[in-house]
Amino acid sequence: MSEFEKELAKAGGQVVTETARDARKAVSRVFGDAAQELAAMMGDQMRFWRFQHLVAIMEKVERIAAERGLAPEQMKALPFGEAIRVAEAASYEEEPALQELWARLIANAIGDPADGGVQRSFIDLLKSLSPAEAAFLDLLWIHERLWQIRETEERAGLMQGPLKTVVTAWESNPVASQRVSIQNLLRLRCIAVRPPSGVERSLASFATGRSTGAALVQAVKEVMNYISVSVGGTSPGGPSTHIQPLPIPAQPYSLTPLGRALMHACRIDL
């Protein structure tokens, strides 16, 4: 029995040992020399609970790698410090939807050297997300891809496959939960509210003398409402329609550069 398995055996006996035997190769391959440190972390029932989560994530990583045709020897190990940070944070996650995001983050980092590893900001962001928020980010990411695709068949496949899946996941949440999720994503600066349509045109028309004072007042009201909603508030007349769950593509939200970078790091194969 290896030192890695001995440490795990102390945590939960034979059950842990058998689990470790199946997962050891995958964990060691991804986390390299940090695997021994990870073994020392798993010393009691709480740590075994966390190890089970890590194993579940690694199974997803293996699945993603297999789907991409990535052989085990092609996967590069994460640097020691980076491996510890990722494993420490990811091992607390028990929600399958968020485990999938962690798996995609790890799979992309070990499979594509050009990605440059796992940024610390991405770890902090994933720790702050709920399943509903993960679904909403996926939804906006796929929606952006739709605008970039011109091929009709490819667009249809995307709408019937990944988009349909994430829309279902998002709509399965109560409206109150959706609103809180959107506010948290705004707080994290992962999403932004799109400016009201027509405001620039209205202001430009007024500046050239082709619009009335009433039009200017309306444009200013729209701008003030936009600012209020962007910082998590409501419109003067009550809850804003911006925080209602709207159907894609009528969604008034978009990914920020930070949100887009996170979703690129956790990208799905589309």
Asked if residue 10 is part of any domain, the answer here is: yes
The DSSP 8-state label assigned to residue 238 in this structure reads B
Domain count of the chain?
2
Q: What is the pLDDT of residues 176-232, one digit of tens each?
A: 888 889 889 999 999 988 766 655 666 566 566 565 666 656 656 665 565 555 555
Asked if residue 231 is part of any domain, the answer here is: yes
Based on the number of CB atoms within 10 Å of its own CB, is 216 exposed (0-12), middle (13-18) or buried (19 or more)?
middle
Q: Do 119 and 145 share a structural domain?
A: no
pLDDT class for 258, splitting at 50, 70, 90?
very high
Provide the domain limits for residue 211: 133-265
Evaluate if residue 166 carries a pLDDT over 70.
yes
- Domain endpoint, select from 127, 154, 175: 127
Q: 10-14, 208-212, 222-226, 260-264: lowest mean pLDDT where?
A: 10-14
H, E, C per residue of 120-149: HHHHHHHHCCCHHHHHHHHHHHHHHHHHHC
**Per-residue confidence (pLDDT) for residue 259, from 0 to 100:** 94
Q: Do 254 and 144 share a structural domain?
A: yes
Length of the chain in residues, anyone?
A: 270
Its pTM stands at 0.69
Q: Do 142 and 118 share a structural domain?
A: no
- Domain endpoint, select from 101, 127, 153: 127
Q: Which residue has the higher pLDDT, 202 or 90?
A: 90
Asked if residue 270 is part of any domain, the answer here is: no
Evaluate if residue 116 carries a pLDDT over 70.
no
Tokens of 40: 């020392």
Tokens of 53: 């989560």
CB-based contacts of 177: which residues, under 8 Å, 6+ apart? Answer: 130, 132
Q: Do 233 and 164 share a structural domain?
A: yes
Q: Average the pLDDT over 79-93 and give the result.
A: 89
